[in-house]
Structure formats: structure tokens, C-alpha cells
Amino acid sequence: MNKEIYITGAGVVSAIGMGKAATLDALVNGRTGVEPIKYLRTSHTGLPVGEVKYSNDELREMLRIPSSEAFIRSSLLAIPAVKEAMEQARLDDRSSLRTAFLSGITVGGMDQAELMYSDFLNNDSRNDYIELNDCGACTEQIAAFIGGFRMASTIVTACSSSANTIMMGVDMIKTGRADIVVAGGTECLSRYHVNGFNTLMILDREICKPFDRDRAGINLGEGAGFLVLETAASAARRGVAPIGKIAGYSNVCDAFHPTASSPDGLGPYLAMKGAIENAGLKPEDIDYLNAHGTGTPNNDLTEGLAAMKLFGDSVPPLSSLKAYTGHTTSAAGSFEAVVSLLAIEYNFLPVNMNFRNKIEEHNFSPVTNPVPARPVRNVLSNSFGFGGNDSAIVLSKI
């Protein structure tokens, strides 16, 4: 159970670009991908969201998927990220390996099901798309397209979904249930998605302002992120150079409220504390805290209070990525794990966009300078889901 789990590949798709190179360029240059709705068919066209800048037809063409095949957008977003991760990990020939695929998602194929529901009621011409509404069907579709997996599984815990697939993947390798795991998550925007969050009255009508005193809510986003996980021995045997490791992780549930964090940040505190302890580190070893930072009054206040409880007067450099990409919900944990790896590899701190005024209850301000005071070796990445399903992962330099 004490095996070190290395990361040998990473792939990402979001509103700021397709692939790690485009993502790094946008982060370093402070470029947001949050814009008014363009691709989603909805009346809420004025809402700012983080849409991936390709239509479904363009994604199909890129992946050579004919229009006659039933494919949902979540799968179309995930496949390029999975392929990028697997290409970096050189997982072309995996016939002799027990390779598992784990994906986190919550909306599933709702983007197509909601468009075709009336057809489903009146005839059977759209049944293929209705069947893809299920979250597990998305995972199976991605796994079947890529091929070569011994098993596939889906985790649905809202915004902590993909972080939890990474934890599950580590556990599967440590307990001998898999040799290699491709873990992450994907999520596309849908009218169901947008209308649901709009009903909760937590959408910002401007680009969001995480950790700012005047924050007003979230921007929704979409995208995907995936990691290839294996032991050091497996990577050495295959001749692949690791790009980082999963040093520690923790998942807790404070079950305080269906959508809100506990006012004292108990869940986030226990998740962060547990991940650091699981990594065998101390709070002062964390060089950067990649915060969940949704931009809502509740989350940012309580996540900050939790960080203060854990780190005291020495909260590490902290920032949220949500103003770059919108909140990618189920894909957030794995997308931000990839960004954490980029911060370690390129030794920079993602700037917390749109910050102007400190939250009065906090003893820290988020990152406004991308230059770290010391090398970025250990990153703590937070992902908090509805119902208080809170996860934290420590990613470290080899």
C-alpha cells in the first residue's frame, strides 16, 4: 500500500485551449476563455460561460466521427484530453497491461437528451441519444472509442467527481487491481446545467471574481482533464519519464447542506488536512494552494477560513482558476490537477484574475504575481462538491 504513484501523462481541454501548451500560454498571459454563450442553444445568451471554442461538428471532424454516429459533447471534449495524456505516457500498446479508465461526470448526455426529448415521447428515432443521457454511458463511449481498457467506471459526486477518480485510480494501483489507470473527468454545458444554477441564483452576470470582497457568483464552464497513473516500477519498465506524482489525497463529507459549505469550512479543512497528512508532509511544505474558489460568497469565505485554520498566519500562495475557464464542475478536479502539474513543471503561480479587494474575514490575499518566492514542489488542489463531498489532492515534483 506504500507504493508511490507517478503521473506519466496528462491531457486537458477547456475554454482557454485544447492541450497543455495552449492552456499554459493562456495562464501565463492572463487570458480568459469566459465569454457570452455562443454554442449552447439557450435563451440565456448574455450569460458569460467558459465554452470550449469548437462546435460539436468541428469536434466530430477533428476526431473523424461521422455525423451518423450518436455522440454527446461530453465525450467529444474528453477524447482529445484522453488521447493527449495517453500519447505523453506512450500507452500505444497496452495489450499486456491491466489498464483501467475512470471518468467523473454529472450532466452526462443531457445536452442532447434535452434537445431530443420531444422526439423520444413521440417516436423512436432518437433512442440512441436518450440512452447516452446516463453518466456511465458517457464513460463507456469514451472507453470504447479509445479501446484497450480492461475496465471502465464512473464517479458522480458533482464538482469533486474527477478528483475522486484520481483517488480511486491510485487505490486501484496500490491494491493490485490495475497496472495503469487513466483517470479524470469531463463535462459539457447544457440548458439543464445553466437553468439549474440560474435557479440557485449563484451565477455572476460578469466574469467571476474569486476571493474578492465583491464576488457575486460563478461562471459555468466545460472541458476535460485526464491523468495517466502508474507505479515508478511500471514507468521504468516501459521507459517512460514521470512528470509528477500523487503524493497524498483525502475525501470527506461534512453533509452540512445540499449545496452550501459549512459556515466554518469544516469539510474543506478536513480534506486539506487529510491530504497533507496522507502525503507525509506538513502544512508548511505546500508551495501553492490551487483553491476551489468558485466566486460565490459562501465557498470563497469558508474555503479561506478553512485554509486559515490549517495554515494559520502562513497561508501559502492561493488562487482560483475559475475566471479563466468558468467552473467546469465535474471536470474541475482533474483539469486543475493538470494545471497544478504545469505550475510545478514551469515554476509559476496562476494569477487569481479579477481580484481587487480582500475579503475582510481573511488574513491573506490571493496570488497577483506569477513569480513564486520559492520553487513550486508541492501543490494542494481542492475540489468541493454539492452535499459537502470535499476532496483535496497533493501533487508533487519527482
Residues with catalytic roles: 159, 292, 327
Cell of 348: 509559476
The beta strands (E) that lie in the chain are given as 5-14, 17-18, 35-36, 48-49, 99-104, 151-155, 180-187, 223-231, 244-253, 288-290, 318-319, 378-385, 389-396
The residue among 41, 53, 46, 45 whose CA lies nearest residue 15 is 53
d(CA 351, CA 332): 17
Helices 297-311 and 266-278, packing angle to 10 deg: 40
Residues pairing with 166 in the sheet: none
What is the rounded CA–CA span in Å between residue 1 and residue 176? 9
User: Do 294 and 383 contact (CB within 8 A), yes or no?
Assistant: no
Report long-range pairs for 369-373 (Cβ below 8 Å, ≥24 apart): 370/28, 372/287, 372/288, 372/317, 372/347, 372/348, 373/317
